[in-house]
Amino acid sequence: MDKILVIRYGTIGDTIFASAFYRELRKNLPNAQIDALVDGVAESIMLNCPYINNLIKLKKKYRDFFYYYRLFKNYDTIFFLKNDNFLSKVAFLARVKNRIGFDVRRNFRLTKTAPYKNDKHEIDFYLDLLKVCGYKVENDKTEMWVSPSEKVEETVNNRSGKKVLIHASSRFPQKNWNKANWAKVIEYLAGEKSANIFFVGGNSDNEYYSGIELNSDINSKVINLCGMCNIQETMSLVSKMDLVLGIDSGVIHMAAASDIPSILLNGPTSLVRWQPRSEKCTVLTKNYECSPCMFASSRNKRCKNKAAECMEAITYDEVINAINNVLI
């Protein structure tokens, strides 16, 4: 039996993108042992993944060389969905027969490679690793594997009316939209649409949401869950929404993977690389010459403004029109 290890750790969005890879790999090798090397974020998302036999927790790299060396010795094939100089070197030293990843300098002496540039979606890059091995790819849609959450059930089920999740805050301030516009959108949703509004994020997002000034009547329709939900609970919450509205973040990709309608306010992030793969996702963006600039390799292209002009250019009316197309 084939013994395969897939290495993909990192952000929520990238882990959700990898769901298409795991599914298509399992279709091609239904009887193989397929394990995944993951960090805490990826582990939380993949707890119920039906395509993986075992989730193996990432340890510190250089300090735990022999841990990885012994681990890799157990596998015939390693797929590097995450470019990693250290781990690819260990796989080479462990003489893993098939070492498959992207043709970037960060990866060391792989046996099969696929191109990795900026010209296509991250999901398609992942699936290219299957194609270079001669495997078929039938479906490029993402998935999310949700566990029932009693906390989410109690929070959501006793509320009548539409349910809208807003994720407005990023650690990259250039991704954020105008707070005054957010306040008007929330007031419209609560007033005109009689919607229940849910905020989600970490404890650090509370400061951002507290800066969105709402009148007392609207506050009663807002449920702030920042810092109160783990990743699985957030996934469960997303799956129960009528609409997810927000900036480029893992939450938007959760909505796409759950087939939940969403509206993405996008400015500095490349849509070619990271647009949610869902027909139910409406993208509001401005085609500035300098966009995209997030994660650009050239310092001259990176946005120097805390409030990116491309985000500020998205208007309140555009967001309301998009909402009205979803919440009839």
Same-domain check for residues 103 and 38: yes
Q: What is the DSSP letter of 192?
A: T
Segment 158-192, tens digit of pLDDT: 888 999 999 999 988 889 999 999 999 999 999 99
Instruction: Report the number of distinct structural domains present in the chain.
Output: 2
Same-domain check for residues 105 and 154: no
Segment 12-65, tens digit of pLDDT: 999 999 999 999 999 999 999 999 999 999 999 999 999 999 999 999 888 899
Q: Is 60 a domain residue?
A: yes
Q: What pLDDT does residue 135 have?
A: 98
Same-domain check for residues 178 and 294: yes
Q: What is the mean pLDDT of residues 232-260?
A: 97
Per-residue pLDDT band at 277 (split at 50, 70, 90): very high
Sheet holding 54-57, edge to edge: 54-57, 33-38, 3-7, 77-80, 98-102, 112-114
Q: What pLDDT does residue 297 have?
A: 52
Q: Is 111 a domain residue?
A: yes
Q: Is 114 a domain residue?
A: yes
Same-domain check for residues 188 and 244: yes
Same-domain check for residues 224 and 103: no
**Nearest to residue 266, comparing CAs of 314, 301, 300, 304?**
314
- Of 131, 158, 181, the position where a domain reaches its end is 131
Q: Domain holding 167: CATH number?
A: 3.40.50.2000
Q: Is 167 a domain residue?
A: yes
Q: What pLDDT does residue 159 have?
A: 87
Instruction: Please say if the pLDDT value at position 327 is more than 90.
Output: yes
Segment 89-100, tens digit of pLDDT: 999 999 999 999
Q: Is 109 a domain residue?
A: yes
- The DSSP-derived string for 315-327 is -HHHHHHHHHHH-
Sheet holding 281-285, edge to edge: 222-224, 196-199, 163-167, 243-247, 262-266, 281-285
Token pair of 309, please?
Answer: 């002009």
Q: Is 139 a domain residue?
A: no
By mean pLDDT, which of 18-27, 137-146, 284-293, 296-305 is the weakest? 296-305
**Nearest to residue 78, comparing CAs of 8, 165, 20?**
8
Q: What is the mean pLDDT of residues 250-279?
A: 95
Q: What pLDDT does residue 214 have?
A: 82
Same-domain check for residues 125 and 161: no
Q: What pLDDT does residue 62 have?
A: 84
- Of 99, 131, 163, the position where a domain reaches its end is 131
Q: What is the mean pLDDT of residues 228-256?
A: 96
Q: Is 49 a domain residue?
A: yes
Same-domain check for residues 113 and 184: no
Q: What pLDDT does residue 114 have?
A: 98
Same-domain check for residues 118 and 166: no
Alpha-carbon distance of 106 to 108, in angstroms, equals: 7
Within the chain, residue ranges assigned H as helices are 12-28, 40-45, 65-72, 85-93, 122-131, 150-156, 179-191, 206-210, 216-219, 231-239, 250-257, 271-274, 309-312, 316-326
Residue labelled with tokens 């890879």: 21
Q: Is 319 a domain residue?
A: yes
- Of 97, 131, 165, the position where a domain reaches its end is 131
Q: What pLDDT does residue 215 have?
A: 73
Segment 129-147, tens digit of pLDDT: 999 999 999 999 999 999 9
- Tell me which residue range forms the domain holding 180: 150-326
Average pLDDT, the chain: 92
Same-domain check for residues 174 and 92: no
Same-domain check for residues 160 and 86: no
Token pair of 64, please?
Answer: 């735990």
Same-domain check for residues 270 and 218: yes
Is 31 or 211 the better-scoring residue by pLDDT? Answer: 31
* Collapsed DSSP state (helix, strand, coil) of residue 253: helix
Same-domain check for residues 162 and 310: yes
- The DSSP-derived string for 41-92 is HHHHHTTT-TT-SEEEE---TGGGHHHHHHHHTT-SEEEESS--HHHHHHHH
Is 296 or 132 the better-scoring residue by pLDDT? Answer: 132
Instruction: Please say if the pLDDT value at position 304 is more than 80.
Output: no
Q: What pLDDT does residue 218 have?
A: 81
